[in-house]
Structure 1
């Protein structure tokens, strides 16, 4: 079972992003997904910058893919999407059906990120006919739904790999409104990209002082961080091809090392601390913030 390093969900300064992926060259990950998935206003990294990072990672033996926005709202965003899908160096991970259509029309195979919302075998079958090679389980589904999907893949003889997110803030929702700008009393069009000041988002607590969510621009993330490290033996036994670790902070070396060790059977050591507490409720069909 392989490890995929998902795209950075937060808005980090360009040099921080470059330093992060230079460090990732030595991490025990097999595939790295690059690109902006949340907000087109985040322009620290342009397509040429992502391509340069991708080439360097590929030269070290990593498999690399470019990801796309999960919510497109403007013609300019469609043009940027077309540029990503038009390049021929790296496979594209689609997070929106507009990307799927562009890649299908170009006759290119593609990956499906968690935002594509594949909930049933019929959808998976249709997308496989369009060129899908790997899909990511929606984060709110449990091990029961995963088992059903894997059984259907086998019964329908679909040639597609399955990936499960095992670490990171859970992507819960996207909105046309920017919550970070709103919280700081700024109009969305005059946000000045203020979310760059919050490298792990803005915590949102209940009146009982329980962390519920994390504001990340137009995206709502979970308050706690998903941790399925101890569930890896079961995930591996089910026949999952790869697990996805989504960056939850600048320094991910110890966290990724813990997952790599767990895949090899070492579950003795404690999970390294991260930028929030951990949760795993969805995996057990429970509230997502629960921790079994």
Structure 2
């Protein structure tokens, strides 16, 4: 079946996901890195255990170290290395030029699109192309999820603040249960959580700059800029117009609880040790290591357990 087989109904193309093992995905780089660092990262990704790789600028259109043609060349290189590649779109569109760039992504003719804005979904639906619905689409109920399936969605990235119990409940709803084999579920499992986007640039503001005179200062913060509470705790990370969780989300010890619910586990790239963590997830999934693994101080998994996000739950179900 062609990658771009037309499919406008949820029942058109069963994926047989029930018995499939969990796959590892590298999400799009959320931070602003120099071109050389980006190219090196994706060279490493080509030989990594990741089966899926997402490419593209999702935060700010002013970040132009890599152009569309660069991302397309990287995508082709990764595909030759045996990876499934998805092109990710901006989460917040604010100008005609950004719409024009979005159209280039949707018209690429080779790779699936992760739609992070409903404008991308409309463009893809007009062409009857399959797509991945990013977590920023914020689907919270089974009726909205079914609607996306009817528009051509083939993979759904669950909103990052929701829990395992919530995921289980929505997948058991009759409207979804009868089409569950027609789409994949992806869970954000590692990295600082993307929580919100704004028309303002918080990184520029932190340097007393106006948004339109930011001088691309985000590039000075390759892992975001910490915003501490008055007590000195890292509450948020500022990443341009995006606000992330101050603590890093880490579901390494919760992988067993995803089986039968999720199909893809996403790791969000960091400036250092991304591939070391990818190896740890792969070892956990393969059974090479078992039991509860020690995590760095500050890592959390609260949302997955229906707790405050910054909490670290040590529950029996979290261990293999």
TM superposition score category, shorter chain reference = over 0.9
Measure, in 2, the Cα distance between the counterparts of 1:147 and 1:56. Answer: 36
Measure, in 2, the Cα distance between the counterparts of 1:268 and 1:47. Answer: 43
How do 1:1-292 residues align onto structure 2 when only pairs under 5 Å count?
A: 1-152=22-173, 155-158=177-180, 159-236=182-259, 238-265=260-287, 266-268=289-291, 270=293, 277-292=298-313
Q: Deviations over 1:64-122 (max 9, x none)?
A: 01000001111111111111101101111100000000000011111111111111111
Shift of 1:2: 0.4
Measure, in 2, the Cα distance between the counterparts of 1:155 and 1:91. Answer: 24
Measure, in 1, the Cα distance between the counterparts of 2:49 and 2:62. Answer: 32
Q: Supply the RMSD in Å over aligned alpha carbons.
A: 1.4
Provide the TM-score with structure 2 as the length reference: 0.87
Q: Is there any run of 5+ residues in structure 1 with no aligned partner, and where? A: none
Shift of 1:249: 2.3
Q: Secondary structure at the match of 1:69?
A: coil
Measure, in 1, the Cα distance between the counterparts of 2:214 and 2:122. Answer: 31
C-alpha spacing 1:63/1:242, structure 2 compared with 1 (3 Å): same
Q: Is there any run of 5+ residues in structure 2 with no aligned partner, and where? A: 1-21, 314-320
C-alpha spacing 1:129/1:19, structure 2 compared with 1 (3 Å): same
Measure, in 1, the Cα distance between the counterparts of 2:212 and 2:228. Answer: 26
Shift of 1:267: 3.4
Measure, in 1, the Cα distance between the counterparts of 2:273 and 2:286. Answer: 22
Shift of 1:150: 2.0
Runs of 4+ in 1 over 6 A off after TM superposition: none
The alignment covers a number of residue pairs equal to: 289
Provide the TM-score with structure 1 as the length reference: 0.96
- On the 8 A contact 1:142/1:282 being kept in 2, the answer is yes
C-alpha spacing 1:182/1:241, structure 2 compared with 1 (3 Å): same
Shift of 1:271: 5.3
